[in-house]
């Protein structure tokens, strides 16, 4: 089986790259994946797979093998990031303010290849393969929950997903039993002061100074409130305030993210964030509005499904391509699928020759990762349905 599949993947590799580049040229941000959805739907149609629209721009296509057997799902995300792409690649984004800077274009191309490879083999297996194309992975509350509510997992016994990973050598696989990706929450703070002339700060309540103290003071949560043996992250992503160099503004807005695996740490984070925001603002005679928004839960891989993935990787790609990895603090709404059915999410290395990390405006993947990714996703479905 493996040699036959390997030959078909090699024959498909040129189209795989072409699909990925065409998708890369037409990035669309969360919930606006209209062109993207139509492009993938057209591919399913050519394979004779009717695709049902779910959760707006999402798709669910079903490949039926011989009667009987189980049902396995393969999932891809579809949305791009709200970034202006940088660099001079020939397949650079044609859509201003949107870029596939995380690899979702590659994920879709891999799923399209797996669908074609499996459709060619539908008489060889019993059961069904469900292809889930999900919108809005990058924007909490995300697209996974609406897809699930609309029936994406109906009849599914297991689900698998991958992320092309810049931090691993091309073609290698990293996976973790249990918690693999973190709870991903965010917060927003509006510091309210009293503006005035920059030459007379004594007549103001300076929200810029207060915000600066907040940025420093809130870092003490991880360093002094969280058990050092428990992973946690607090990072600021935005800070906005003022319009002119010599005017102290009335308010400053900040936002950031917190990441953790332990629900108790989440409770602690929320409590200490509010306490320090209120205390710091009071010390500077300012006020604050504080909002905390819970994001994706931790992504927890089913241990038995991880063993299954590793066994398939060993047979399909070779044991030498398995790399031990640690959990990461990134968030991923594939976590919601794993709360409903057994399954596993893994990283497939695409980092050879690349310089920029995920979410950088000049991010790119090593396209040599696409064939082994398609090979593995197809193999996982075939092995599960044996």
List the catalytic residues.
Answer: 79, 137
Provide the token pair at 227.
């058990």
Rounded alpha-carbon distances, angstroms, from residue 360 to 36, 82, 102, 167, 259 = 21, 11, 8, 13, 20
């Amino acid at each position: 089986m493996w040699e036959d599949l390997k030959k078909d993947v090699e024959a498909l590799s040129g189209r795989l790259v072409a699909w990925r580049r065409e998708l890369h040229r037409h990035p669309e941000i969360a919930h606006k994946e209209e062109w993207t959805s139509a492009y993938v739907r057209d591919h399913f149609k050519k394979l004779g797979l009717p695709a049902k629209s779910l959760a707006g721009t999402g798709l669910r296509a079903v490949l039926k093998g011989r009667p009987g057997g189980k049902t396995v799902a393969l999932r891809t995300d579809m949305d791009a990031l709200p970034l202006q792409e940088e660099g001079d690649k020939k397949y650079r984004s044609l859509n201003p303010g949107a870029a596939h800077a995380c690899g979702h274009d590659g994920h879709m191309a891999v799923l399209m290849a797996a669908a074609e490879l499996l459709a060619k083999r539908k008489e060889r297996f019993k059961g069904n393969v469900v292809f889930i194309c999900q919108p809005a992975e990058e924007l909490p509350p995300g697209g996974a929950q609406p897809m699930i509510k609309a029936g994406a997992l109906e009849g599914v016994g297991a689900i698998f997903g991958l992320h092309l990973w810049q931090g691993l050598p091309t073609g290698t696989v990293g996976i973790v039993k249990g918690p693999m990706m973190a709870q991903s929450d965010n917060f927003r703070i509006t510091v309210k002061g009293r503006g005035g002339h920059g030459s007379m700060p004594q007549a103001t309540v300076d929200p810029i100074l207060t915000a600066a103290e907040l940025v420093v003071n809130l870092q003490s949560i991880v360093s002094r409130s969280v058990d050092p043996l428990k992973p946690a992250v607090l990072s600021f992503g935005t800070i906005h305030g003022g319009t002119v160099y010599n005017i102290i503004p009335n308010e400053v807005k900040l936002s950031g993210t917190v990441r953790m695996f332990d629900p108790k740490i989440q409770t602690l984070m929320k409590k200490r964030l509010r306490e320090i925001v209120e205390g710091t603002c009071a010390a500077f005679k300012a006020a604050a509005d504080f909002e905390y928004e819970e994001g994706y839960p931790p992504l927890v891989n089913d241990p038995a499904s991880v063993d299954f993935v590793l066994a398939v990787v060993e047979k399909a790609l070779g044991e030498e391509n398995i790399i031990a990895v640690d959990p990461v603090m990134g968030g991923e709404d594939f976590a919601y699928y794993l709360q409903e059915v057994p399954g596993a999410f893994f990283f497939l290395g695409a980092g050879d020759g690349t310089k920029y990390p995920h979410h950088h405006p000049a991010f790119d993947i090593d396209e040599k990762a696409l064939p082994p990714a398609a090979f593995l996703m197809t193999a996982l479905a075939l092995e599960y349905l044996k």
